[in-house]
């Protein structure tokens, strides 16, 4: 049984990151210039799309260093394997609680969390999927001056609708009542989310505000022995949010690097 579960999860990683078909990827040509938008519009009315061949680099994809045109996650193999590592630890040690990701894009990491629950035939844990489903917020410079000038909110590629994420879950036969969606800005949804306990909290919101809002609401619900994962620790503002929160709350647990981009730590038992 264990071998079958591991094989299933390995196949999920290959599929979710599109390692399998990466070398045939074509990226849509996106531009904000009026003339390009007009061309794109005309072409799509005719059933065409302007694309360019994407130079596929497997090593980059493994480390989640490119923005894949089709894959359901941009976090790459190593950070998915990190989720698997944390999940095996909490399941092996009976650490209570659900799994959550804040900032899901096309849903890939949360689909993987749900796949882990499926692989181990668990019926008492859920996966929480938290996102605005309309991209990042414009920086709130008054409350969070370090986010000043952040342009993530202007990036259309980061806006993926709830329906489209649900469709992605469905493609893997993993959409059911063990998947719970929290739609809206983290500052509004997370403080009142009906989550009792968490075993894994994965933060992937890119900005100081998004990271701080997520950790402030979720860390108190993280069980001892559970894991806090930060996808964007390589982003200065995200690192600052984590440092501020750890200092304010006297968190001493050692942070472990995942792949040069993300980090994680285990809440002391
Ligand atoms: C880099 S993407 C996440 C990538 C994803 N984890 C994956 O597996 O590919 C960042 C996501 O965070 C969401 N986001 C960032 N800040 C947010 C906030 N404050 N409230 C709600 N959603 C937010 C964006 O909508 C976007 O989907």
Q: pLDDT value at position 36? A: 72
Q: How remote is the CA of residue 210 from the centroid of ligand 1, in Å?
A: 8
Q: How remote is the CA of residue 2 from the centroid of ligand 1, in Å?
A: 32
Q: How remote is the CA of residue 118 from the centroid of ligand 1, in Å?
A: 24
φ, ψ of residue 238 to 5 degrees: the values are -70, -45
CA dihedral 232, 105, 203, 228 (to 10 degrees): -110
Q: pLDDT value at position 34? A: 75
Q: CA-to-CA distance for 188 and 166, rounded, in angstroms? A: 21
Q: How remote is the CA of residue 251 from the centroid of ligand 1, in Å?
A: 25
- pTM of the model as a whole: 0.94
pLDDT tens digits for 217-235? 999 999 999 999 999 999 9
Lowest average pLDDT, out of 32-46, 57-71, 140-154, goes to 32-46
Q: How remote is the CA of residue 42 from the centroid of ligand 1, in Å?
A: 30
Q: pLDDT value at position 32? A: 67
Confidence of residue 24 (pLDDT cuts 50, 70, 90): confident
Nearest CA to ligand 1 atom 5: 104
Whether the predicted pLDDT of 1 surpasses 70: no
pLDDT tens digits for 81-101? 999 999 999 999 999 999 999
Structural domains of the chain, ranges and CATH numbers in brackets: 76-266 (3.40.50.150)
> Residues near ligand 1 with C-beta < 6 Å?
73-75, 101, 103-105, 108-109, 131-132, 135-137, 158, 160, 185-186, 204-207, 210, 213
Confidence of residue 144 (pLDDT cuts 50, 70, 90): very high
Q: CA-to-CA distance for 247 and 58, rounded, in angstroms? A: 37
Q: pLDDT value at position 26? A: 83
φ, ψ of residue 105 to 5 degrees: the values are 55, -115
């Amino acid at each position: 049984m264990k071998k079958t579960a591991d094989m299933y999860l390995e196949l999920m990683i290959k599929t979710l990151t599109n390692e399998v078909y990466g070398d045939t990827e074509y990226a849509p040509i996106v531009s904000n210039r009026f003339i390009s938008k007009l061309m794109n519009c005309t072409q799509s009315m005719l059933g065409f799309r302007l694309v360019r061949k994407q130079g596929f680099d497997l090593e980059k994809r493994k480390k989640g260093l490119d923005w894949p045109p089709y894959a359901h996650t941009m976090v790459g193999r190593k950070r998915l394997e990190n989720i698997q590592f944390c999940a095996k630890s909490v399941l092996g040690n009976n650490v209570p609680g659900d799994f959550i990701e804040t900032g899901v894009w096309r849903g890939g990491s949360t689909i993987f969390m749900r796949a882990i629950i499926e692989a181990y035939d668990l019926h008492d844990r859920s996966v929480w999927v938290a996102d605005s489903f309309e991209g990042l917020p414009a920086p709130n410079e008054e409350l969070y001056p370090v986010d000043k000038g952040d342009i993530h909110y202007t990036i259309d590629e980061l806006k993926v609708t709830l329906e489209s994420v649900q469709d992605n879950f469905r493609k893997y036969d993993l959409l059911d009542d063990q998947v719970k969606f929290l739609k809206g800005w983290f500052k509004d949804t997370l403080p009142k989310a009906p989550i009792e306990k968490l075993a894994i909290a994965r933060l992937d919101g890119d900005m100081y505000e998004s990271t701080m809002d997520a950790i402030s609401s979720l860390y108190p619900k993280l069980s001892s022995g559970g894991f806090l994962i930060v996808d964007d620790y390589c982003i200065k503002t995200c690192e600052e949010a984590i440092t501020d929160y750890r200092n304010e709350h006297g968190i001493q647990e050692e942070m472990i690097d995942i792949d040069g981009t993300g980090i994680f730590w285990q809440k002391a038992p």
